[in-house]
Amino acid sequence: MKKKLLFFDIDGTLYNTSKKIPEATKKAIEEARANGHEVAIATGRSPFFLKEVSEELDIDSYVSFNGQFVVYQGKTISKRPIPADVLERLATEAEKDGYPVVYLDEQRMTSTTEYDDHVKASMDSLFYPMPEYDLNHWKEADIYQALLYVPEEEKPRYLKAFPELAFIRWHKYSDDVINHDVSKAYGIEQFIQHTDFTLADTMVFGDGLNDIEMLELVAKEGTSVAMGNSPERVKEAASIITEHVDEDGLSKAMRRLGLCK
């Protein structure tokens, strides 16, 4: 088989519902790499939140922040921070409405509240503590992603007020906020531009709503795989559907695709 470029989402794809990487997945990725395939991550997580999985799987290439910050073999090749003037407007609007905001650069995550039940619930789902309280973070660093804790029924108002931004629901209480023209698909396109791979050489694996763009993009020429635990909208975007993550769906798909035995 010709050498392939493999992108893996983390939560619900590499990580099972217990936030662990199944042994079958580790073995499949190790075999795929030994067979000459390039392995990378495509995630909504920040670079500092990739350390554990990167070390566990020995991966130093990734599309992070849903495409806003891209690294190839340890070197940053693309970054698209949210413009400061847009962040200022978002901060003002959220403060007026009383909605918490979490800001992320490539090194740290902060919150506009010292404690909030909704922020705590979302962090608990990631097995992550409450972020550091800091009202000035967005003024002092390049922010690549924000988390806006807006009720679903109020989201249309923000969509209308901020056409420069995309709001992607990732948790019951929270949206990922990034530049409107950036996605995992955008990040993968930047990645490909800096390598010898083509879209036809690419395979992507995901399960979430923020994976739809990359699944649709790669399905045009390459292979995109949706996990069995994906919502129907995600499955419709993929060229292949595999079993649930808790049923070793990822390793089974990789074997079917001939990436490993």
Q: Which of 9, 11, 176, 248 is catalytic?
A: 9
Q: Has 9 been annotated as catalytic?
A: yes
Q: What is the average pLDDT across 208-232?
A: 96
pLDDT at residue 104 greater than cutoff 80 = yes
- Check pLDDT > 90 for residue 215: yes
pLDDT at residue 261, rounded to an integer: 85
Q: Report how far residue 244's alpha carbon sits from residue 185's, in angstroms, rounded to the nearest whole number.
A: 23
Report the CATH architecture of 84-179.
Answer: 2-Layer Sandwich (3.30)
Q: pLDDT tens digits for 67-81? A: 999 999 999 999 999
**Residue 93's pLDDT band (boundaries 50, 70, 90)?**
very high
Structure-token pair, residue 37: 């395939």
**Going by C-beta distance under 8 Å and a sequence separation of 6 or more, which residues neighbour residue 162?**
86, 89, 90
Confidence of residue 127 (pLDDT cuts 50, 70, 90): confident
Domains 5-79+182-256 and 84-179 share a fold: no
Please tell me the CATH superfamily of domain 5-79+182-256, with its number: HAD superfamily/HAD-like (3.40.50.1000)
